[in-house]
Structure 1
Amino acid sequence: MNPGETTGRPDQADGPGARLDPPRARLGTLTALYVTQFLGFGFITIGLSSILRAGGTSLDTLALLNLIGLIWPVKFLWAPILDRYGPRRGGHYRSWLLVLQSGMVLALLALLATDPATGRIGPIVAICAAFVFLSATQDIAADAVAVRLLSERVRGAGNGIQVAASYVGNILGGGACVVVYDRYGWPAAIGLLAGLTAVGLVVVWRFREPDRVARPVDARQAYGALLSVLGQPGCRNWALGVVPLLYVGAGAAYAMVTPSLVDAGWSLQRIGFVTGIVTSVPAVIAGLVAGGLVARIGRAGVLVLGGVSLAGATLLLLPLLTGRAPAGFTTVALCFFMAAYTVANVALYTVNMDYSRPVTGGTDFTVLSSFGLICSYLAGAVALATAARVGYPAVAVAAIVLMVAGVGLGVRHQRRHPRRPETVETVVRVPSEPLHKVPG
């Protein structure tokens, strides 16, 4: 398959002439999908860690729980399966979402059979791993739906919702459910979490997916999209230049936050509350605002706003990185950092969606976004190892340089490739012949 080629087979989801949801309803559907997928994830990474730590669980064991999150960066390995396989009736991705959303609810309900007070967290970790796998896979299907539902004009708003949703999950899953646990116990907290997640199932059930015009003809072509996505004009420079620079810079800076707070004498409870809950509120607002700004000032404008603000926020973290962490100033600096990171993320995700082809939307968007996550994880590890030798401030300065370079390269990219590449093609079947590609 040639780079950028998207041949496939005609495939209708709901039949010709199926009535589609209006734009506002589409954004509402995506909001429900993204928020509910992050509810359980926020609970596992923030809330559950707090609950287990309060019960005396060791930090080494909690580290094992956090490793579950590594499932997300590698979900591109099975993304082509969702693009290739799916029923023709009832909606290709809708059918996947019904199964995955139901699985997420059932996984959370399975936690009712466990009790963190017993100290046996093996079953809890296993169930949480299953949930994270299901939520990561649900994200692939949700992204594919977003690629097909969102026009270029509203793509920024859709990605603003997506980025903001992760922080809403932190607030509800990592905050509200912990409060419920503290007052009413484990069954009440898990019941609330499962009930909120089930809302997404109701939304998916009522969702009308657009007719699917094509899909990869076989698994080999589906997996070929993992590389062919980079063959589109400017995509390689974007994915291998702009994205790594910004994510490495941001990942390196943020990786030093928690160790610096510990070094400054902050308690684990305060660190978890501030970094997991307090900073999520401005991040939600920033994500929604940035999503609206994409249509007004463009992708490059939002990228400059987010990237420059992120570099400035990293400068504000220098007192913390040198051992001075007054509660008020440090909290404001962290809020500014997360808000700026969210704005930059909206710009990055919007361009990633520009490069996502409708035929392989789940794979394309997942590949581009997962690469950024992998860069961020690796940057965090390298930053801490480097900081042990040269100190936190030196690493922070290097991170700022990378952020600024990423913004500059991103602006240059958008000037050369200001519009979404034309990759949508019409596919027809010629009787008694293999599939042929007809340029649209």
Structure 2
Amino acid sequence: MSGRLGTLTALYVTQYLGIGFITVGLTAILRDGGTSLDTLALLQVVGLIWPIKFLWAPILDRYGSRHRGHYRSWLLVLQGGMVLALLALLPFSRPAAELGPVIAVCAAYVLLSATQDIAVDAVAVRMLAETARGTGNGIQVAASYLGNLLGGGACVLVYDRYGWLPAVGLLAALTAVGLLVVWRFREPARADRVARVGAAYRALLSVFGQPGCRWWTFGVVPLVYVGAGMAYALVTPALVDAGWSLGRIGVVTGVVTSAPAILAGLAAGLGIGRFGRSGMLVTGGAALALSTVGLLPLMYGRAPLGGTIVALCCFLAAYTVANVVLYTVNMDYSRPAVGGTDFTVLSSFGLICSFVAASIGLAAADRLGYPVVAVSSIVLVAAGVALGVAHRRRFPRPTRPGGAPVDDLARPAVGGLANAS
């Protein structure tokens, strides 16, 4: 199991390196080069590829090499493509002056990274036993912050000291580590290959037919994500209103808060194994409520450096704990034969909720003020946690149609989705 978790760690971290660089590091570099905020907003649009990746997830579940490993064959191509996409940025030593090609390369990288995430999630669904899913998803969430820290922080420091070529070269070299990991990885043989691509696409909807899945996906997930997302969406504008510079905001929200979030993700994964999904959901929800209260001085316009950093670190750490629980239950509902599709569609819905939450939070704050929205977010999170605990009591262990437990990886999925090969 330690070898499997090590493989997943390397793949999750390397896929987020470029994402962190694009969303944080490259944004800072371009802004330093005089790029307008309106133009920088276009760079952030490429991130919308991630919430819609479920549209092509069934293709990865259906097609794959028997000889090289079903998902490993995808990972070899995608991980190598990510390295090549980063290397393609090397000629643009003045990215602000060549913005069109730079954004095109970044969009290609994000597409490759999002697709790689489908394959890695599918591997995780198949390899992780029920007791290890919390740890696996803790690693996944922590990896996103570590990638942000390295890609958005370390590479910018290298750029500031040594220039564009060393910074991008370092990013490509770190990403290439994942390619070596994939090359050494030996994927277990599949006995539940999906018979037709149409059957794989039907999994986009059939996943919700499992007992309790609709309750979880359309009840618990939106309440928690919208509640937490509304509060987090207020942070940046509130910091600006409080007089913080854009540089300080970027460093604090993009780098400083990542370290405790990484630790929180790993701790939440271990905590799920010890205290269960419900226990960690309550812990994360309570921490989110308390940390949102800690943000209220900021919402009223008071933002001393030390106290604000502590409040933001606590909030992001609490959100990370809740996020790990949500991801773990999503994996519980992911069937091995279509693990890439199931986990992707369930997690994509959470991403969509986060995008919606940002819009709702900012629009409501414009009319009602920051404090009212922050308190409302606490109510939504509390409702989501209460609904989640009720869900876990009624459906303590998600099962596939027919009664087979979701962690029974030796059996093919039922309901016409799989065909022994």
Distance, in Å, in 2 between the alignment partners of 1:410 and 1:402 is 12
Match of 2:38 in 1: 60
Are the structure 2 counterparts of residues 225 and 388 from structure 1 closer, same or farther at C-alpha, using a change threshold of 3 Å? same
Q: CA offsets per residue over residues 227-276 of structure 1, 9 Å max, x none?
A: 10000011110000000100000111101100000111100010000000
Alpha-carbon displacement from aligned partner over 1:172-221 (angstroms, at most 9, x marks no partner)? 00000000000110000000000000000000000010111112211111
**What corresponds to 1:11 in structure 2?**
none
Structure 2 CA distance for partners of 1:437 and 1:329, relative to 1, 3 Å: closer
In structure 1, the partner of 2:272 is 294
Q: Would you say 1:172 and 2:150 are equivalent positions?
A: yes
Query: CA shift at 1:436, angstroms?
Result: 10
Seq. identity, %: 70
Equivalent position to 2:54, from 76, 85, 94: 76
Q: Where do residues 209-358 of structure 1 align in structure 2 (5 Å cutoff)?
A: 209-358=187-336
Residues 20-419 of structure 1 aligned to structure 2 (within 5 Å): 23-116=1-94, 119-419=97-397
SS, match of residue 214 in structure 1: coil
Per the alignment, residue 402 of structure 2 pairs with none
Query: 2:79 is matched by which residue type in structure 1?
Result: Q
Distance 1:168 1:217, change over 3 A: same
Q: CA deviation at 1:88?
A: 1.4
Which AA in structure 1 matches 2:52?
A: V
> 1:117 Cα shift?
5.3
Residue by residue over 1:2-26, the C-alpha shift from the partner in whole angstroms, topping out at 9 and shown as x without a partner, is xxxxxxxxxxxxxxxxxxxxx1110
The Cα offsets for residues 103-140 of structure 1, whole Å up to 9 and x where unpaired, read as 00000000002123552211110000000010000000
Q: What is the distance in 2 between the residues matched to 1:374 and 1:124? A: 26
Measured at CA, do residues 59 and 118 of structure 1 come closer, stay the same or move farther in structure 2, by a change above 3 Å?
A: closer
Match of 1:14 in 2: none
Mapped partners of 2:138, 2:65: distance in 1:
30
2 CA distance for matches of 1:34 and 1:436? 27
Q: TM-score, normalised by structure 2?
A: 0.95
Report the number of matched residues: 411
Amino acid at match of 2:368: V
How large is the Cα RMSD of the aligned pairs?
A: 1.6
Q: Which ranges in structure 2 are unaligned for 5 or more consecutive residues? A: 400-404
Structure 1: which 4+ aligned runs deviate by more than 4 Å? 423-428, 435-438
Q: 1:293 to 1:47 in 2, by over 3 A?
A: same
Tell me, in whole angstroms, the C-alpha distance in 1 between the residues paired with 2:394 and 2:40: 46
Conserved in 1, the CA contact under 8 Å of 2:193 and 2:418?
Answer: no
Between 110-119 and 151-160, the greater mean CA deviation after superposition: 110-119
Structure 1: segments with no counterpart, 5+ residues: 1-22, 429-434
- My pick for the range that moved more, 107-116 or 333-342, is 107-116
Query: Which SS does the other structure have where 1:213 is aligned?
Result: coil
The two structures have a TM-score, normalised by structure 1, of 0.91
| Equivalent position of 1:432 in the other structure | none
Residue-by-residue CA offset, 1:372-414 (whole Å, 9 max, x unaligned):
0100101101111111111111111111110000000001111
Equivalent runs, 1:6-17 vs 2, <5 Å: none
Distance in 2 (CA, whole Å) between partners of 1:291 and 1:153 is 10
Local SS of the residue matching 2:230: helix
